[in-house]
Amino acid sequence: MKKTKLILLGVIAFLLAIVFACSKSDDDSSSSASVTTLVSGSAVFSSTATINVAYTGTATLPYTGGNGASYSAGTAIASTGVTGLTATLTAGTLANGAGSLTYTITGTPASSGTASFVITFGGQTVTITLTVNSATSVDCSTATGVTKVVCLANTFLATLTTTQQTSVVLTLNLSNAKRWSNLPCGLSCRNGLLFSSLTSAQQTAALALIKAASGTNSGEGYDEFSTIRAADDYLGTTASGYSSGNYVIAFLGTPSTTGKWMLQFGGHHYAQNITYDAGAVTSITPMHEAVEPAGSFTYSGTTYSSPLASEQAAMANMLASFTTAELATAKISSTFSDCLMVPGSTTNTFPSTKLGIKVSELSTAAQAKVLAAMLPWINDVDATSAASFTTTYTNELANTYVTYASNSSGVSGNASSFLTANTDYVRIDGPSVWIEFICQSGVVLSGIHYHTVFRDHTRDYIGL
C-alpha cells in the first residue's frame, strides 16, 4: 500500500510539472531563465512604423537581475491598440545582472496610433509600445519617367487600407491582364478598385499616378482620359450605369523599378494597360478609347470638346492624302459594326493576312500621314515611352498596311468626307502596330459615337 501511495505521489508530481510547464508564457521559453525586472520605459524600437506599410524592425527591452540562463525563441505576440503587428522573442542568454532582450517586430499596421505588446518573460510582465505614424507624404515631384510612376504608385498605396491594397494589387498573369472592356460593367469585367469607393485623398493620389503614366500632351493622355470620364458622367444624366465613379485602377504585380508589373486603369469607353519591366515601359497595349457623343458636350457647367477629335482628324487626313487609285486599293468590301479586335475579348486573334495598301507603295507625303495617324494613340503615355514606340513603328512603316471600309462619301483630298457615318471604318496594321477606328450609331444618344482599339502584334500582354 505504501508503495502504491509513493507511485501515485510520483505520478501527481510529474503531472503537476507538466501543468506548470504548459502554463508558462510563450515568451518564458526556458524554465530556468529569470529576471528581477523588465524595464518597459527604456524599451527601444529600431524605427517607427507607418499605417498600411509593411514593417520589419526590432525592439530592445532592458532587464535587471538576469540569472545567466539560456532561453529559446518565443512565439508571436499580437499587437493591441493598433493591430496587424507581432513581436517575437529572439533566442539568447541572459546576463548575470543587467542586459537586454531582443524582439523582432513584423507585420502591416492597420491604423495609426500606438501598437502595444504585452511581454512576459522570466516571471515578469510589462507592456511595450510602438508608434505608428499616419501615411507619410513622399515628394515625387523631382522624379521622372518610370521612377516617378512607381513613386506615385506607392504614394497611392500608402493612402489605402490593408483590405483596399489587397483588392488593388493582384497577380500578374494572362487571365488578369485580359480583364479589360469597353462596357459600363464596373468591377464585373475589370480588376481593382472603383473610383467611387475611394476617399477624396485616395482619388487625388490615383489621378496623380494616372497623369504621370498617361502623359501630359494637350488633348491626349491625361486630358483625354479626363474628358472621356466626363462624357460618362454626361451619359449618366440620361441613362443609369454611366459614371466617372465606375472607373477603376489596379496593379498586376507590385509597382517597382526593378520587377515586372502592369498598371490598369479605365472604365466604360476607356482602357489602358501599361507594362513596366526593369524600370522601362515594355508595352502600352491593349488600349481602348471611345466616346459618346462624338462631338462636344456640356456637363456641370463645363463645355468639353470631343476627346477623340484628334484621332478622327488624323485618320481622316491620312485617307484624304491617298490618291483615288490608292484609295481603291486600300478599300475592302466588308462592313464592320465594331472593331475587329473587340475590347476585352479573350478569344479574338489578329488576322493572318494583311489587307489594303502597303505603306511603301504610297507617296512620301502619304506615308508621313500614316505615321501621324498613329500618334494620337502612341502619345497617350509618358513622353519617353511614346518616343520609343514611335521609333519602333517608324522603322516598320514600309511594311505596314492601311485598309478601310464603308466611307461611301470619302474622296481623295477631302478629309471631311471620311469617318462621318455609321460603319465608317479604318485600320492600320503593321508588323507590330494595330489601330482600328470605327463610327457607330449612338447607344444612349442619337447620332454617332467613336470606338477605337490600339493593339500590338508582339507586345500585347508581353511575356504572359
Beta strands in 15-143 (DSSP E): 37-38, 44-45, 49-50, 55-67, 70-71, 77-78, 80-81, 85-89, 92-93, 96-107, 113-121, 124-133
- Residue 328 domain-assigned (yes or no): yes
Domain range holding 377? 145-463
| Residues 198 and 232 placed together within one structural domain of the fold | yes
CATH assignment at residue 48: 2.60.40
The per-residue pLDDT for 1 is: 44
- Answer for the pair 193, 254: CB distance below 8 angstroms, yes or no: no
The whole-angstrom separation of Cα 464 and Cα 212 is 25
- Residue 415 domain-assigned (yes or no): yes
| Residues 109 and 186 placed together within one structural domain of the fold | no
| Residues 184 and 84 placed together within one structural domain of the fold | no
The per-residue pLDDT for 12 is: 43
- Residue 8 domain-assigned (yes or no): no
- Residue 11 domain-assigned (yes or no): no
Question: Which of 78, 99, 133 is the last residue in one of the domains?
Answer: 133
| Residues 69 and 163 placed together within one structural domain of the fold | no
The whole-angstrom separation of Cα 130 and Cα 82 is 9
Separation in Å, CA 421 to CA 167, 329, 406: 41, 21, 9
| Residues 417 and 453 placed together within one structural domain of the fold | yes
- Spatial CA neighbour of 248 closest among 264, 230, 231, 229: 264
- Residue 95 domain-assigned (yes or no): yes
| Residues 346 and 438 placed together within one structural domain of the fold | yes
The per-residue pLDDT for 52 is: 77
> Does residue 153 carry a pLDDT above 70?
yes
- Residue 435 domain-assigned (yes or no): yes
Percentage of the chain with pLDDT > 70?
A: 92
- Residue 18 domain-assigned (yes or no): no
- How many folded domains does the chain comprise? 2
> Does residue 138 carry a pLDDT above 50?
yes
- Residue 227 domain-assigned (yes or no): yes
Instruction: Please tell me the pTM assigned to this model.
Output: 0.74
302-327 pLDDT, tens per residue? 999 999 999 999 999 999 999 999 99
The per-residue pLDDT for 23 is: 39
Buried b (16+ CB within 10 A) or exposed e, 42-57: ebebeeebbbbbebeb
| Residues 289 and 329 placed together within one structural domain of the fold | yes
Question: Which of 77, 108, 133 is the last residue in one of the domains?
Answer: 133
378-423 pLDDT, tens per residue? 999 999 999 999 999 999 999 999 999 999 999 999 999 999 999 9
Question: Which of 100, 133, 166 is the last residue in one of the domains?
Answer: 133
Report, as an integer, the average pLDDT of 319-340.
Answer: 97
* Chain centroid offset of residue 55 CA: 22
Q: Which residues pair with 97 in a beta bridge?
A: 66
Q: In this structure, which amino acid lies at residue 151?
A: C
Report, as an integer, the average pLDDT of 103-126.
Answer: 92
- Least confident stretch, 219-233, 319-333, 335-349, 351-365: 335-349
